[in-house]
Amino acid sequence: MSEFTADEMMTVAAARSLRDGAACFVGIGLPSTAANLARRTHAPNLVLIYESGTLGAKPDRLPLSIGDGVLADTADSVVSVPEIFNYWLQPGRIDIGFLGGAQVDRFGNINTTVIGDYANPEVRLPGAGGAPEIAASCREVLIVMRMSTRNFVDRLDFVTSVGYGGGRGDRERLGLRGRGPVKVITDLGVLEPDPQSCELTLTQLSPGVTVEQAQEAVGWPLKVVPEPTVQPEPTETELTVLHELMETR
């Protein structure tokens, strides 16, 4: 059994969530690493789409930004930024979108805009970017974030991207056409929306993590399925490919 870090477990878990052949809207950082890992392991036909306008990029190294030249060089097509949002993301053609953020709440809503008051912020974050429409339009969303009471909060300071809003039925009411976040992948485990209430519920633990540890890392009383499973550890192959990938940066 190899050694692996919590972040590696998180990346591998995210990669495993990507089924072969899916069209995936990829952000830079962990999502891009996970998508490229998936493409090199179980999902060789994963279609990588970056908001910079590259459709079907097949990078031979880990891109360093969403606009890395290797993406344009290896893409099936390069389109403009208005086109990528209007013709490709908005109609709901993309199977899976990745999101991260500074704060997430129990319904998978995300804040990437501001901590504190909008007019007098404690911390000004980067802002929305592509997230609101990725959250709205991708058929499914995966959220990837490290778990801590600072990030998993009872109440967002700002709703940048909508998960399930105030709960079941809100996406439909808002006219959001994708399913919403189907998984929140963290260093400590995986949360999934409760089929009835849409409240994020702990369904899987990372190896060696307890339910209590996960609950302590969340700023609301975290619900847990009756028998949370333990995620399979990263395989030798997954770790090897991941390490190779990280070296290409």
Partner 1 sequence: MVGVARILQLDEAIAELVHDGDVVALEGFTHLIPVAAGHEIIRQRKKDLTLVRMTPDIVYDQLIGAGCARKLIFSWGGNPGVGSLHRFRDAIENSWPVPLEIEEHSHAGMANRYAAGAAGLPFAVLRGYAGTDLPQHTSTIRMIECPFTGEELAAVPAINPDVGIIHAQQADRAGNVQMWGITGVQKETVLASTRSLVTVEEIVDELTPRPHSVVLPNWVVTAVAEVPGGARPSYAQGYYERDNAYYQQWDPIGRDREQFEKWLEAEVHGTARSAR
Contacting positions for partner 1 (CB under 8 A): 21-23, 28-29, 47, 51-56, 64-69, 71-73, 76-78, 80-82, 85-87, 89-93, 95, 113, 118, 120-121, 123-133, 136-137, 158-162, 165, 170, 174-177
Local structure of 85: helix, strand or coil? helix
Q: How far is 9 from 187, CA to CA, in rounded Å?
A: 7
Nearest approach, Cβ of 61 to partner 1 (angstroms)?
Answer: 12
Nearest approach, Cβ of 50 to partner 1 (angstroms)?
Answer: 9
Between residues 111 and 204, which has the closer beta carbon with respect to partner 1? 111
Between residues 128 and 239, which has the closer beta carbon with respect to partner 1? 128
Q: Is 51 a catalytic residue?
A: yes
Nearest approach, Cβ of 152 to partner 1 (angstroms)?
Answer: 19
Q: Decide: residue 239, CB within 10 A, 0-12 exposed, 13-18 middle, 19+ buried.
A: middle
The 3 state secondary structure assigned to 66-83 is CCCHHHHHHCCEECCHHH
Between residues 25 and 152, which has the closer beta carbon with respect to partner 1? 25
Residue 52 is classified by DSSP as T
Nearest Cα residue to 191 out of 154, 161, 231, 243: 231
Contact 222, 149 (CB under 8 A): no
Nearest approach, Cβ of 104 to partner 1 (angstroms)?
Answer: 14
What sign for the dihedral angle of Cα 165, 174, 129, 180? Answer: positive
Single-letter residue type at 15:
A
Nearest approach, Cβ of 23 to partner 1 (angstroms)?
Answer: 6
Written as six digits, the tokens of 10 are 């998180």
Between residues 8 and 68, which has the closer beta carbon with respect to partner 1? 68
Q: How far is 68 from 79, CA to CA, in rounded Å?
A: 14
Between residues 116 and 208, which has the closer beta carbon with respect to partner 1? 116
Catalytic residue (choose from 8, 51, 133, 199): 51
Return the active site residues.
51
